[in-house]
Amino acid sequence: MISDADFGNLQMAYLREYCERQIWRNVRWNGVEFWQFPEDIVSIAEAIHQSKTDAVVEVGVNAGGGLEFYSTVLSSNPKGLVVGIDVSIDRASVVSTRSPDRVKLVLGDSASPETVQTVRDMIGDRRTLVILDSDHSAAHVARELELYGPIVSPGSYMIVMDGVIRHLVGVWQIPADAATNNPETAVAQFLPAHPEFERDYSKNWLGITGAPGGFLRKKE
């Protein structure tokens, strides 16, 4: 056995190597690239189940592996819907083509009120969970938090990905300013003004995560 501090150091060393070696590029769901830590994928699925979510809004879709996964998680839900938003949706379009009734794509700036209104119209009265995983600059995430927070259903989550980059400066392509210019900076500023949200640290229970403290639960 080792101390909690040593275990934390071991986890961080693993994260640094995981990112430096770009192991995350190998993660797939149904053959589609899904650039998340497997541990976070499990926690997100758990959050969807526990919050009885009908609709998942993924901001930043990349190749579409997340869309494919969330569609699978919601496959037994007759109201199940996944909405993906990005400034480029070409790579993810194959996923929406596979499941056009369950997966919808929105091309546009995630921080645009017009984009948010389009999403609102799509989800209707569904219980909704939001995942923020696009531009990781603090200013952009801050705008997304304000715009998408009202969409999240009470008892569900707004999950802010990649706050871990503040600990990974110099790894792979993570720039020096990520120490302060990161999603966690935006979350720390957002929460005091929005007491309806609270961090759910239990969703980081597997230890390895790209979103430490990034699972924000909306109080019921």
Query: Helices marked H in 79-150 — which ranges?
Result: 93-98, 113-123, 138-148
Q: Is the pLDDT of residue 94 over 90?
A: no
Q: For residue 167, what is the domain's CATH number?
A: 3.40.50.150
Q: Is the pLDDT of residue 34 over 90?
A: yes
25 burial type by CB count under 10 A (0-12 exposed, 13-18 middle, 19+ buried): exposed
Residue 70's nearest CA partner among 41, 106, 33 is 41
**pTM given for the model:** 0.96
Q: Residue 98: what pLDDT?
A: 87
- Cα distances from 151 to residues 3, 54, 115, in angstroms, run 41, 13, 13
Quote the domain boundaries for residue 108.
4-218
The total number of structural domains that make up the chain: 1
pLDDT tier for residue 1 given thresholds of 50, 70 and 90: confident
| Spatial distance between the Cα atoms of 197 and 22, rounded to a whole number of angstroms | 32
pLDDT tens profile 179-220: 999 999 999 999 999 999 999 999 999 989 999 999 999 999
| Spatial distance between the Cα atoms of 101 and 89, rounded to a whole number of angstroms | 17
- Cα distances from 169 to residues 64, 132, 164, 180, in angstroms, run 27, 21, 10, 10
Under 8 Å between Cβ of 163 and 184: yes
pLDDT tens profile 95-142: 998 888 999 999 999 999 999 999 999 999 999 999 999 999 999 999
